[in-house]
Amino acid sequence: MTTDVSRFIDVDRGEIQGEIFHSAEIYEQELERVWARSWVFLAHDSMIPKRGDFIQTYIGEDPVVVVRQRDGGVKAFLNQCRHRGMRICRADRGNAKAFMCSFHGWVYDTAGNLIEVPHEETAYRPEVFDKSDWGPRPVARLESYRGFWFGTWDAEAPSLTDYLGDMAWYFDAHFDRYASGFEAIAVHKWVIGANWKLNAEQPSSDMYHGDVTHVSAKQVMGIGPTPDREGHQFSGTFGHGTGWWDVGGNTRRASVGDAWLADHREEVVERVGERRADGVRGHANIFPNFMFLHNGTIRVTHPRGPDEFEVWAWTMVPADAPAELKEEIRVKVLRTFSPGGLFEQDDAENWVEEQRIMRGYMARRSPLVYTMRMGEARRDQHGLPGLTVDHPYADEGSRGMYRHYLDLMMSPTWADVIERKRERDEPVTARPLDKNGVSR
C-alpha cells in the first residue's frame, strides 16, 4: 500500500500540505522510494585517506561502513551482521584490518567478506552454510565526484554524473578551486526535532528568511540587512538547488589567509572561471541530504522518523592552505553554522516549531504557499546552466525539490521516475559545460 502523495503536493500551483512532514506512512514510503534509491553522500577522500581507514555513516536509516581498500579504491556496505543483524562496526571512524561483530564474533574483512565464524566446523554443516554467501549487503553503486563519494542501493539509478547534471557546475564553484583539493576537518553531530525536508528545502531555496530569522545574529556580527542586489537561484532535474547573491554585497573582512588566497587566485580563475571564482556560491543542497555553504560547512542529514533528523557537519578547507587559514575557517564555521553557531540555532528553532505545529490536523491540511517567482524560471540564461530565476528570493529550488520528490514517491522504479521527467521535457543526462557556463 502506497500513499498517493500528490494529494498533498501540487507543484504547478505551488501548494504543499504539511501532512508530508508529519505522516509516519509517508515516512516509511520515503525510506523505500527516496532513501533506498537516491545517490547519498557517504564520505570525502580526506576522511579515509589510508588503506583500512573507515568511516561509519547512513543512507537514510540504514547504517553504512565506507572503507578504503588496499588498492586505493573504496567499498561501502550495510553495517549489519548477517547472523542476527547486529551492527558490525561500532566506531564512528578509524583504521581496521577487519571488523568483528560484538554479538557472536563473526569477522568481516574490509572488503566486506565474511572471513571467520567461531566454531564454524562443529556448529555449521557445509551443505547448509558457506561463508562466502554471507558478506554484508554491498552498496549497489558507489561513485566519486571530485573526491566526494556517493552511494545508492539501487542498481538501476542513473549514473552519479547524470544525477548531478547541471548541479555539478555549481558544486565546482565550491570544490573544484584548487588542484590540491579540499580536506574535511572538525566534525560535529547533533539532533533536530523536525522533518528532514523542512531542512533540505532551505539550502535549495530559502534565502528569503535571512534578514528576519537571523536579524539578531546579524546585528551581533555587525552585518546590516541584506541590500537587494543581483542574485540567482538554480533548480536541478533531480531535486537539487542552490541560491546566491552575486558578488559585491558581502562585507569582506581581512583574513590571515589573504596572501595565500591572492597567490592562488589565478589558479582558481583558471579552473572555474572569473564568475565562479568570485560568486555563484551561496547555499546548496544535492537532493536529498547533502548540503554545503559558501563558508565551507558541508553536512549530511540522516532522517530519524518523520519528526527528527541528525545533522553531521564538517568544515572543508583547502588542503594546501596554511594552518592559520584552516583554523580561521574552522572557527568561523563554529561560530555561525555549528550546533552552537549563531545562524544554526536560529534556523533550527524555525524547523522545530513548524514540526510541532504540523501535529495539528488543520495545520497539516492547510496548503502552504510555494509560489514565489513562479513562472519566471528560464533554462540556460545569462550563461547559467539549467533552470534559474533572477533572484535568490524564490521558491523555484523548493518547487524543483518537491517535483523530484513526487517523481520518486509516485514511481515504483527509476525507469518510471525518468519517464515522468521526460514527459515534462526535463533534461535527464549530464552535458559537458564550459568553465564560464553556457553560451546561447
Give me the phi and psi of 400, to 5 degrees please.
-65, -40
Task: Residue 337: name its binding partner from ligand FES, Fe ion, none (Cβ under 5 to 8 Å by kind).
Answer: none
**Is 84 among the residues that bind ligand FES (CB under 6 A)?**
yes
Q: Is 100 left (phi over 0), alpha (psi -120 to 50) or beta?
A: beta
Look at residue 368 and give its three-state secondary structure.
strand
**Binds ligand FES by CB under 6 A, chosen from 3, 36, 75, 83:** 83
For residues 136 and 62, give the distance between their C-alpha atoms in angstroms, rounded to a whole number: 12
Q: Quick one: 88 or 300, whose CB is closer to ligand FES?
A: 88
Looking only at residues 339 through 358 of this chain, which bind Fe ion when binding is defined by CB under 5 A? Answer: 347
Q: Is 206 a catalytic residue?
A: yes
Question: End-to-end alpha-carbon separation of the chain, Å?
Answer: 47
Q: Is 395 in the site for Fe ion (CB under 5 A)?
A: no
Residue 426 DSSP label: -
* Single residue of 29, 31, 36, 86 touching ligand FES by CB under 6 A: 86
Rg, Å, the chain Cα set: 22
86 vs 374, beta carbon nearer ligand FES: 86
Number of residues this chain uses to bind Fe ion (CB under 5 A) = 1
Looking at the Cβ atoms of 25 and 116, the one nearer to ligand FES is 116
Of the residues 7, 13, 104, 359, which one makes contact with ligand FES according to CB under 6 A: 104
Coil vs helix vs strand at 144: strand
Is residue 40 part of the contact set for ligand FES (CB under 6 A)?
no
Contact 192, 351 (CB under 8 A): yes
Residue in 71, 310, 93 with CA at minimum distance from that of residue 79? 93
Closest CA to 391 of 404, 401, 378: 378
Minimum separation from the CB atom of position 210 to Fe ion (A): 6
Residue placing its CB nearer to Fe ion in the complex, 209 or 304: 209
Q: Applying CB under 6 A, does 107 fall inside the site for ligand FES?
A: no
84 binds, among ligand FES, Fe ion, none (CB under 5 to 8 A by kind): ligand FES
Compose the 408-437 pattern: x for residues touching ligand FES by CB under 6 A, - for all others. Answer: ------------------------------
Evaluate whether 289 touches 239 at the Cβ level (below 8 Å). no
Q: Is 182 in the site for ligand FES (CB under 6 A)?
A: no
Q: Which residue is closest to Fe ion by CB?
A: 347
- Residue 382 designated active-site: no
Catalytic (active site) residue 45: no
Can residue 103 be called a binding residue for ligand FES (CB under 6 A)?
yes
Instruction: Give yes or no for a contact between 147 and 44, defined as CB atoms under 8 angstroms apart.
Output: yes
At a CB cut-off of 8 Å and minimum separation 6, what does 394 contact? 205, 233, 243, 372, 373, 376
The question of whether 214 is a catalytic residue gets the answer yes
Which residue, 101 or 157, has its beta carbon nearer to ligand FES?
A: 101
Q: Which of 311, 328, 436 is nearest to 382 (CA)?
A: 436
* Residue of 53, 206, 346, 395 with catalytic role: 206
- Cis peptide, bond prior to residue 412, ω within 30 of zero: no
Q: Does 53 bind Fe ion (CB under 5 A)?
A: no
Residue 426 touching Fe ion (CB under 5 A): no
Catalytic residue, candidates 92, 104, 211, 258: 104
C-alpha cell read off for 56: 561509519
Beta-bridged to residue 298, according to DSSP, are: 292, 314
Q: What angle do CA 432, 319, 291 make, to 5 degrees?
A: 60
Q: Contact residues for Fe ion (CB under 5 A)?
A: 347
**Mind telling me the catalytic residues?**
104, 206, 209, 214, 347
Q: Contact residues for ligand FES (CB under 6 A)?
A: 81, 83-84, 86, 101, 103-106
